[in-house]
Amino acid sequence: MPIKNGSEYIESLRDRNLQVYLFGELVKEPVDHPMIRPSINAVAATYDIAEEDPEIGSATSSLTGLKVNRFLHIAESSQDLVNQNRMQRKLGQQTGTCFQRCVGMDALNSLYSTTFEIDKKYQTPYHERLIEFIKKIQYENHVIGGTMTDAKGDRSLSPSQQEDPDMFVHVVKRDEKGVYIKGAKAHQTGCINSHWLIVMPTMRMRPEDRDYAIVGAIPVDAKGITYIYGRQSCDTRSMEEGDLDAGNSQFSGQEALIIFDNVFIPNELIFMEGEVEFASMLVERFTCYHRRSYVCKTGLGDVLIGASAAIAEYNGVSNASHIKDKLIEMTHLNETIFAAGIASSHQAYRTESGNFINDDMLANVCKHNVTRFPYEIGRLAQDIAGGLMVTMPSEKDFRGPVTGPLLDKYLKGRKGVSTEDRVRILRLIENMTLGRNAVGYLTESMHGAGSPQAQRIQIARQMQLEYKKKLARKLAKVAEGEDTISNPSLAESSDYFDRIFGIKK
């Protein structure tokens, strides 16, 4: 039966016999592990929002006619993409962490148009296969984990040039029923909490990389898959008694290393096999969707701004002008991220396949802002919080018969605010800027969907400097051809301004 809500989702993860290793040991039941469970709770919130706020969290699929979770919906308009961003920000506010489903959503949408164009060139059956798969998961209401980042090995070498061929996931065997793959995917968000994995190439491919140009769907519990759980700062606080020191005891993100050892993908779940020239199209379309998906960080920013305002109030300094100014700056930075992301969605256009893709330039601007602004928001939060955020004793000391009363007396802030409430807000700020959820808010913001230089490359490709120089020369009354700096042979592949001004080619 289809999964209806977060509670049913959690139960659907039980008894799958996954090969998950944590601290060198096989985890018997990941659902019940105290360090893993907060990440499962975060995914459960993506089910509950579809029930509680269906306008944001769900959509009607033209493929099935069903009301489906928005994370499984193929975008059929720019408003669909805008609603994705609204949903992402709301979930960030509700969880204060990474809720782990954006990669799967963006993988489905980028594959929808890419498979259509592969089929158009080669008369392959990929697009039809993908549609059937999407129908299945929409009905069952499953979580899709997208897996793109390979181990990579020597970054100066292509996949086929690596000394160890397993540094990139590749096909090692083919038969009439399908293919077998081997390799690893690194720091994979929410993979253990998913029902399906979609394996994708991580970079453009050459003809000699044909075995590495593979896309396919695999059940999370398929034979031959091993998961090695990733550490997060302060993660074992979730395993301690009580909930004070965790800061955010209910929700967290999740990353793991996935090892594929001769894992089978049947033909009907293969969506690319060897069409190397389409690897770059898939990667670029995926990153276009995913880089504006980072508006999710503005939801986390809302929480951190709120925590900063609360601790200023608890400390009795909320009326200080410099505190107000810092909160204004934090809000300005947060909304700047959101503005670029949602503008990218509003500027979406229809692909040949019929689904919609957002504007690439603005998506890269959004993500480039995300590589910087959360760090400044976090710094200002720490500034407002004060040093006690990182010097507080443990919860056991707060509960201790001797130390508890002393801490309650000497760590008290403004009158009318309990010491425990002050400590809880400080621990939340610590969690988001130094602790477990700083992984999703800071470092993932830097490297997820491509490190900063990847965005700068895409922005450079779309600057349209020749067009801008013509604008300048015209206003300065410089005749065309007199500018010796310009290179008229430079082709400008971007159609960014055409989209802005509605120019049809």
Encode pLDDT of 239-265 as tens digits.
999 999 999 999 999 999 999 999 999
Residues 251 and 388 in one domain: no
CB of 19 closer than 8 Å to CB of 66: no
CB atoms within 10 A of CB 209: 20
Residues 453 and 472 in one domain: no
The phi and psi torsions of 199 (rounded to 5 degrees) equal: -85, 130
| pLDDT at site 490 | 46
Residue where a domain stops, chosen among 232, 262, 282: 282
The beta-strand segments (E) located in 316-389 are 349-350, 356-357
Q: Does 214 have pLDDT greater than 70?
A: yes
Residues 153 and 205 in one domain: yes
Tokens encoding 29: 């039941």
Residue 126's identity, in one-letter code, is Y
Domain presence at residue 249:
yes
Residues 301 and 263 in one domain: no
Residues 419 and 467 in one domain: no
Encode pLDDT of 118-139 as tens digits.
999 999 999 999 999 999 999 9
CA distances from 418 to 105, 413, 487 (A): 43, 8, 67
Residue 476's identity, in one-letter code, is A
Q: Over range 471-477, report the average pLDDT.
A: 93
Domain presence at residue 1:
no
Cα–Cα distance for residue pair 368/206, rounded to 1 Å: 28
The band of 493, judged by pLDDT with boundaries at 50, 70 and 90, is low
CB of 220 closer than 8 Å to CB of 194: yes
- Contacts of residue 189, defined as CB under 8 A and 6 or more positions apart, other chains included, come to 98, 100, 103, 145, 253, 254, 255, 444, 448
CB of 293 closer than 8 Å to CB of 258: no
Residues 314 and 433 in one domain: yes
Residue 22, beta-bridge partner list = 25
CATH number for the domain harbouring residue 183: 2.40.110.10
Cα–Cα distance for residue pair 150/159, rounded to 1 Å: 10
Cα–Cα distance for residue pair 6/142, rounded to 1 Å: 11
For residue 20, the surrounding DSSP H or E stretch is strand 20-22
Q: Please state the separation of Cα 84 from the chain's center in Å.
A: 12
Residues 350 and 484 in one domain: no
| pLDDT at site 107 | 98
Domain that residue 331 falls in: 293-458
- Contacts of residue 228, defined as CB under 8 A and 6 or more positions apart, other chains included, come to 21, 22, 256, 257, 259
- Contacts of residue 405, defined as CB under 8 A and 6 or more positions apart, other chains included, come to none
Encode pLDDT of 452-465 as tens digits.
999 999 999 999 99
Average pLDDT taken over every residue of the chain: 96
Encode pLDDT of 4-58 as tens digits.
999 999 999 999 999 999 999 999 999 999 999 999 999 999 999 999 999 999 9
CB atoms within 10 A of CB 355: 22
Cα–Cα distance for residue pair 402/407, rounded to 1 Å: 9
CB of 308 closer than 8 Å to CB of 226: no
Domain presence at residue 287:
no
Residue where a domain stops, chosen among 282, 301, 319: 282
| pLDDT at site 494 | 77
| pLDDT at site 483 | 47
Report the phi/psi class of residue 74: left, alpha or beta, with left for phi > 0 and alpha for psi in -120 to 50.
beta
Q: Which residues are catalytic?
A: 98, 102, 189, 255, 290, 294, 296, 444
| pLDDT at site 484 | 43
CB of 179 closer than 8 Å to CB of 216: yes
